[in-house]
Structure 1
């Protein structure tokens, strides 16, 4: 019972809220309150103070917190080691992924991981890169896969894969290579919404190239790269998206893809996790697995690999 109380205590301390801790642990708020009351009675000290809408640790709570985390980590480690000895590793992984990784990178990684750890359940949430980082910061996900380093003061980022951004056009367009963003400024452009790692990377590169967004003919912002690809296929306009996301439509000859002079540098997809959270053995195993399976791999949509499959950049 003490372990349940310590878990409730650490969640309240991290989220600074009884109600948020209850939601996170799938318990009622009254159960959380009872756990904290019993813990305070056990130690004969008050562990939390209320400051407005938030609860904060007392000095006694500050002392207990790292010890409680260590106890819970040891519990996880004991559970993990015993499961390994029986060759039956299980548990739940809460993963948050931005649009491109969720659709084009995570499925392959998760399929390979499931072959090795078939009893592990995966909960995959799809958000833009900013909201993936936000979920990690709040403790709503164990690990994230995203294309931009948001909230870097709160999160640790590990490089996972590299790739490029490319210009995509309807199949009827044949542009002379190499293509510059300035040359396509007059064409209608479809961009990702703010919060997208693709859009953040694009805007940073445009800034470096001294190109203002107001100079471009942007006719719309979209949540989903799949919708953008379909709109480009139908002739609505041009767009700049991840090369890995463009590959399937280019192979079907539904769109054309071009390298842009200003976008020659590679971008990185990252594994991210909360700096202040102790990683469970399962989460650490997943991170290690991702690094092993992607180390030395080319981007799945890279032009070198894609040429072998009938896909190449125009020009």
Structure 2
């Protein structure tokens, strides 16, 4: 498969014209057009067709865009890995974490790491637990920190996960809520309006799983946010119930701005995991970050 020609086609499709692709790639327009036509002829396909004064994608051309985007993204990641290998102790550490990790845990670890490895760029992205795992698998992250959602790594020879903390999910409301500091059943609390994160967040998945197992109608999500802080702020403002990690909730209980609802008989254990490629498949500075995390687990937990 001629990846060079596929890249030419991709940029023509991306920019909408051979002229713009030529300017971006610094390759002449006739050369781009000729190579794409030859590729189409050799493979008995049609990727582009003229419509009016412009070019449009054929149905096959449209289908190829998404996989080509992934292909060239992986190619770019490979280039970064090689650059990082040659630049050690410089390089780029990419951390993907769920909202709990990036708001509570990762900032302290990243600060400690930068004090030792000032030449390494640290990029932190906030996603839900499902997407943190996806970023790691797709080589878009070197380290993923997320809540356990029961998804094992398919390639156990390349990836591994280790537990950082074990805490629990808690039902939380504003101090003035009717269930504040009360003991209620899951059915009672599930009948209240809920404020939750988007699908793919670990707390939401766990709550709905509990409802299925106990054959209880799941709660109606009246407000949905893509951020944990926004979710907490809405609950504190006095509307609805949420289900969040105790690492987030307990400091807010102490401040008196959030209250717990005790719901007996549910499994609310939450494991916070660190996922990565195995040591032999990582750049050395990534291994240094992971070692630092495990070295400072107790000191970070004590500060929460």
TM-score, normalization by structure 2: 0.65
The CA distance in 2 between the partners of 1:287 and 1:276, in whole Å, is 10
How far 1:259 moved relative to its partner?
4.1
Partner of 2:284: 281
Partner of 1:109: 109
Match of 1:212 among 197, 217, 229: 217
The CA distance in 2 between the partners of 1:217 and 1:124, in whole Å, is 32
Partner of 2:74: none
Q: 1:92 to 1:180 in 2, by over 3 A?
A: same
Q: 1:142 to 1:17 in 2, by over 3 A?
A: farther
The CA distance in 2 between the partners of 1:161 and 1:293, in whole Å, is 12
How far 1:184 moved relative to its partner?
1.6
Q: 1:231 to 1:152 in 2, by over 3 A?
A: same
Partner of 1:195: 200
Partner of 2:125: 125
The CA distance in 2 between the partners of 1:250 and 1:185, in whole Å, is 21
- Conserved 8 A contact 1:249-1:255: yes
Pair 1:226 & 2:217 matched: no
Gaps of 5+ in 1: 1-11, 21-27, 32-49, 56-68, 81-88, 307-315
Larger CA Rg, structure 1 vs 2 = 2
How far 1:222 moved relative to its partner?
2.2
Cα RMSD over matched residues? 3.9
Q: Secondary structure at the match of 1:164?
A: strand
- Conserved 8 A contact 1:167-1:258: yes
How far 1:271 moved relative to its partner?
1.2
The CA distance in 2 between the partners of 1:265 and 1:185, in whole Å, is 15
Match of 1:165 among 153, 163, 169: 169
What per-residue deviation string (whole Å, max 9, x for no partner) do you get for residues 205-245 of structure 1?
A: 333333331xx343232211211111111111111111112
The CA distance in 1 between the partners of 2:85 and 2:237, in whole Å, is 53
Q: 1:298 to 1:90 in 2, by over 3 A?
A: closer
TM-score, normalization by structure 1: 0.63
The CA distance in 2 between the partners of 1:287 and 1:209, in whole Å, is 38
Say how many residue pairs are matched.
Answer: 241
How far 1:152 moved relative to its partner?
2.5
